[in-house]
Amino acid sequence: MVDNSQANGGPAARDLSDGADQPARPATLERGRPVTDAELLRRADWIRLQTVGLIARAGLGHYSSTFSCAEIVATLYYHALRLRPGEPHWPDRDRFLLGKGHVATGLWPVLADLGYYPADWLGQFGKVGSPLNDHPNMKLAPGIDFSSGSLGHNLSVGTGMALGARLSGRDYRTFVLTGDGELQEGQVWEAAMAAGHYKLGNLVAIVDANGFSGSGPTSAAMNIEPLADRFAAFGWLTREVDGHDVAALRRAFGALPGTGSQQPVCLIARTRKGHGVDMMEKQPQAWHLGLLSPEQQADVVAEITARMELAAGSAQ
Ligand SMILES: Cc1ncc(C[n+]2csc(CCOP(=O)(O)OP(=O)(O)O)c2C)c(N)n1
Ligand SMILES: [Mg+2]
């Protein structure tokens, strides 16, 4: 487990999994693993703390974009996805593509925690030659199903993977997490059309609909709403969900139709960019890219840690 105390210059990140009493995880992590909502919320905050530490190491990163999807990533990796961390290329694993690749800091600690690579790799984050960088590289980091960073491509890659599952008779699901600004880029709508055409019910797009892209409100740059109607027009089954409500996310993943169904699924997760840190939520754009000062970082770590401790206390 990474120790952020050096990088943060503040309290150590709360460690959720190094206790000697932690049971060993099974080789295959099945879909729908039992987990409490409190655990998922704590995990999302742990992702936020880890992100703060990693960005401090690298000297730059995307806090508010990562915080926006922390509950989504936590619910996927600690509940919904079928995975085999010891065998990253296991053909029957569920695929996860991080379309909004600029939030890789939210994924690296999770993949380390699940055993894809040693936790001490996190110490090299952002350094020349490190497999873990600001954006995911499938050739360097175990557990990355496709590289991203250039927005707008992962939905078409995911469509290809879902089609591949159909052709090879496998029942894995392919999940693609896209930003809402990302929907203005690349081949997203060609992919949406193709997935509908090929009736890929084994494909799930999750839109992190936080209302902001890189330079202001998303729809001010180019309107993307009404999102549900647009995806539905291409033949997708659409659902809107509060992307910070882990119970709602669990229900949405639990209610996914079988992989043999005929409609790709789009979960439109309504989120707040910077969620979980008050000053970032108030000014999401200011924190799209940046670096906290040491004083700000101490405040942010204290805010998140206090919430985690409060939740731990009320659970007892
Ligand atoms: C093809 C491409 N164009 C531009 C960028 C620069 N860029 C990085 S993040 C970002 C905004 C993304 O907004 P959104 O998808 O809504 O993600 P959020 O940060 O809100 O989670 C942009 C334009 C990029 N990475 N790739
Ligand atoms: Mg956005």
- Name the token pair of 248: 């709602």
Enumerate the domain spans of the chain: 8-13+34-315
Give ion ligand 2 contacts, CB < 5 A. Answer: 179-181, 210, 212
The pLDDT, as a whole number, for residue 62 is: 97
Q: What is the pTM of this model?
A: 0.94
8-13+34-315 CATH, one of 3.30.70.260, 3.40.50.720, 3.40.50.300, 3.40.50.970: 3.40.50.970
The pLDDT, as a whole number, for residue 21 is: 61
Mutate to test the pocket of ligand 1, among 100, 134, 147 (most ligand atoms within 8 A of CB): 100
As a whole number, mean pLDDT of residues 131-145 equals 97
> Do the Cβ atoms of 307 and 45 come closer than 8 Å?
yes
Task: Say if residue 257 is preceded by a cis peptide, omega within 30 of 0.
Answer: no
The pLDDT, as a whole number, for residue 9 is: 33
pLDDT band at 78 (very low <50, low <70, confident <90, very high): very high
Cα end-to-end span (Å), the chain: 24
Average pLDDT over all residues of the chain = 93
- CB neighbours of 18 closer than 8 A, spacing ≥ 6? 1
180 lines ligand 1 (CB under 6 A): yes
Q: Is the pLDDT of residue 11 over 70?
A: no
Rounded distance from Cα 176 to ligand 2 centre (Å): 15
The pLDDT, as a whole number, for residue 24 is: 84
Give pLDDT tens digits for 254-291: 999 999 999 999 999 999 999 999 999 999 999 999 99
